[in-house]
Amino acid sequence: MQFRGGMNELVRQAARVQRKIDQVKGELKDREVSATAAGDKVTVVVSCEGKVRRIEVDPAFLASEGLEMALDAVVAASNSALEAADKLVETEITKVTGGVKLPGMHT
């Protein structure tokens, strides 16, 4: 099977896809995703770049359940928010690549 335009065209197309992936990542890096835990008593907000932006803990929950339970809820909410952010980025990149996993692409 011969690619139309040969290997040079294939390399150019791969470079275009990589630029689009980088553009999508740039557009999403400041977008925020949140998750809650402990019946919405703990909320964590993260960026799609993987940075924690904000943690909110209901003071009544902290007083009634204690620090250890509150911290466990923060960890759970953080993990959920980071996972949701990763899925959002993956979904947007899949739109660019058409779902094809391309070797050597920095996704």
**37-82 residue pLDDT tens:** 999 999 999 999 999 999 999 999 999 999 999 999 999 999 999 9
pLDDT band of 4, cuts 50, 70, 90? low
Separation between Cα atoms, residue 56 and residue 63, nearest integer Å: 14
Q: Are strands 52-57 and 32-37 parallel, antiparallel or unpaired?
A: unpaired
- What pTM does this model have? 0.78
**7-42 residue pLDDT tens:** 787 788 888 888 888 888 888 888 999 999 999 999
As given in the structure block, the two tokens for residue 28 are 């999403």
pLDDT of residue 87: 95
